[in-house]
Structure 1
Amino acid sequence: METKKDTILILSGGMDSVTLLYDYKERIALAISFDYGSNHNAKEIPFARLHCERLGIEHIVIPLDFMGKYFESSLLQGSEAIPEGHYADENMKSTVVPFRNGIMLSIAVGMAESRELQYVMMANHGGDHTIYPDCRPDFVAAFDAAAHAGTYNGVHLISPYTNITKGQIAARGKELGINYAETWSCYKGGDKHCGKCGTCVERKEALADAGIPDPTEYE
């Protein structure tokens, strides 16, 4: 029996969402990337497009220019503003883009209702909880309830990786045969991964935890 294509995936082009794309490829009808003016959007989005083309999944990019103009975040202020260190460090809070997931999910839910699709999916994980309020289980539950209540077809939010680590996601990617060289993590968005920002440190740890030789080219 063929799996129904009933889901929209928010796809950045990073390790987590690319893994989710392959993990649930049979049910993803559409993947959406958002260009919100971050340093690394230009690096991530081409990888999102590459994987969707490979899998034959429709992919669109929606611009959110206003976030770069009006929101305060080091992620929107150029590579020199990005702090170095581990995600657990206090200074990493500067990389929070206020309510980013809430905004993106709202658009995706509207798209799902417009296309009569039942689910929206995002790739938050357990390691995000410390820094990002809109990645935590209570946010996921609240947004799922709001999406279901606010749409005629009762759209639901699915976030399968909420309570697992990035290392466990990488291990799943290893099972799926994903080449993580075809993903982007670095918040600085240079020609190569910097190797020092929170996302680079987390990427290195996740690949090591999964027993995957790191294919990333670092500065």
Structure 2
Amino acid sequence: MKKAVVLLSGGLDSTTALYLAKSKGYDLYAISFNYGQRHDKELDCAKNIAEMVDVSEHIIVDTNMRAWGGSALTDSNIEVPEGKQDNNEIPVTYVPARNMLFLSYAASYAEVIGAQDIFIGVSEVDYSGYVDCRQEFLDAMENAINKGTVCGAEEGRPIKIHAPFINMTKAEEIKLGMELGVDYSLTWSCYRGEGNACGSCDSCVLRLQAFEEAGYEDPVEYQD
């Protein structure tokens, strides 16, 4: 059975990617990150989801991106803004080079366990405009990984980055997830780590809109 490393944040996208990789028959190895984010709600979800899906291994990497900050997701002094569906600027919730770091860890992990496939649940259709969620970045990252790993550069075992939702809307992704049996009540998308999801940050706005377009009710509880 082929092995796949899946970046699992505990959010909607990464959870759907995990289920999709499972449906394709991969032996699953999930990797999550405690990177200094302002709350650990997603990490708790990731642990529960990994256990439910029965992955072969779930690793949580500690890396302190709060040390230099620069994002509302890591800095307590930068307020998480209200979501804007027509926003054309990179929001302050962008974490500088986060996916670059995460994919580097995933590649190292993949090389050690003999996996040639990495799954990441990013999209450049319904997203917040993050530069590290674009196909151009993923292609460059895959090229760098295969020039900087023994398996890719010397052994003829290149690593492939799979971004199955890169050209899908979130509504299309949710429909696929429903077909795969994803329990979205276990996921967390809200940028604010409060008791219930806020319903007003950028991530909540995108999620709620997607569930409505997909024709399903979001099972997560919201403040309003």
Does TM, scored on the shorter chain, surpass 0.5?
Answer: yes
- What do you get for the CA RMSD once the two structures are aligned? 1.8
- Kindly indicate which of the two structures has a greater share of residues assigned to helix: 1
Shift of residue 44 of structure 1?
0.7
Shift of residue 129 of structure 1?
5.7
- Could you report, residue by residue, the CA deviation over 1:23-52 in whole angstroms, capped at 9, with x for unpaired residues? 111314310000111124x11112111121
CA distance in 1, matches of 2:218, 2:87: 23
**CA 79–214 in structure 1, closer or farther in 2 if over 3 Å, else same:** farther
Question: Which structure 2 segments of 5+ residues have no match?
Answer: 153-158
Q: How many residues align?
A: 214
CA distance in 2, matches of 1:51, 1:180: 10
Shift of residue 159 of structure 1?
1.1
Aligned to 1:15: 12
Aligned to 1:160: 164
Residue 190, structure 1, aligned to residue 194, structure 2? yes
Aligned to 2:3: 6
> Is the 2:89–2:129 contact (alpha carbons within 8 Å) kept by the matching residues of 1?
no
CA distance in 1, matches of 2:35, 2:132: 16
Aligned to 1:97: 95
> Is the 1:92–1:131 contact (alpha carbons within 8 Å) kept by the matching residues of 2?
yes
* TM-score of the pair, normalised by structure 1: 0.91
- Give the ranges of 4+ consecutive aligned residues of structure 1 lying more than 4 Å apart after TM superposition: none
- Could you report, residue by residue, the CA deviation over 1:192-217 in whole angstroms, capped at 9, with x for unpaired residues? 10000000001101111111112121
**CA 80–146 in structure 1, closer or farther in 2 if over 3 Å, else same:** closer
**Equivalent residue of 2:172, what SS?**
helix
Equivalence map 1:74-153=2 (5 Å): 74-78=72-76, 81-86=79-84, 88-90=86-88, 93-127=91-125, 131-153=129-151
> Is the 2:3–2:116 contact (alpha carbons within 8 Å) kept by the matching residues of 1?
yes
**CA 97–126 in structure 1, closer or farther in 2 if over 3 Å, else same:** same
**Equivalent residue of 1:134, what SS?**
helix
Residue 29, structure 1, aligned to residue 25, structure 2? no
Aligned to 2:181: 177
Percent sequence identity is 38
CA distance in 1, matches of 2:36, 2:162: 26
Shift of residue 86 of structure 1?
2.2
CA distance in 2, matches of 1:129, 1:205: 12
CA distance in 1, matches of 2:188, 2:90: 18
Question: Which structure 1 segments of 5+ residues have no match?
Answer: none
CA distance in 1, matches of 2:116, 2:20: 18
> Is the 1:78–1:188 contact (alpha carbons within 8 Å) kept by the matching residues of 2?
no
CA distance in 2, matches of 1:56, 1:185: 22
Aligned to 2:213: 209
Aligned to 2:45: 47
CA distance in 1, matches of 2:214, 2:10: 19
Equivalence map 1:54-73=2 (5 Å): 54-57=52-55, 58-65=57-64, 67-73=65-71
CA distance in 1, matches of 2:69, 2:139: 25
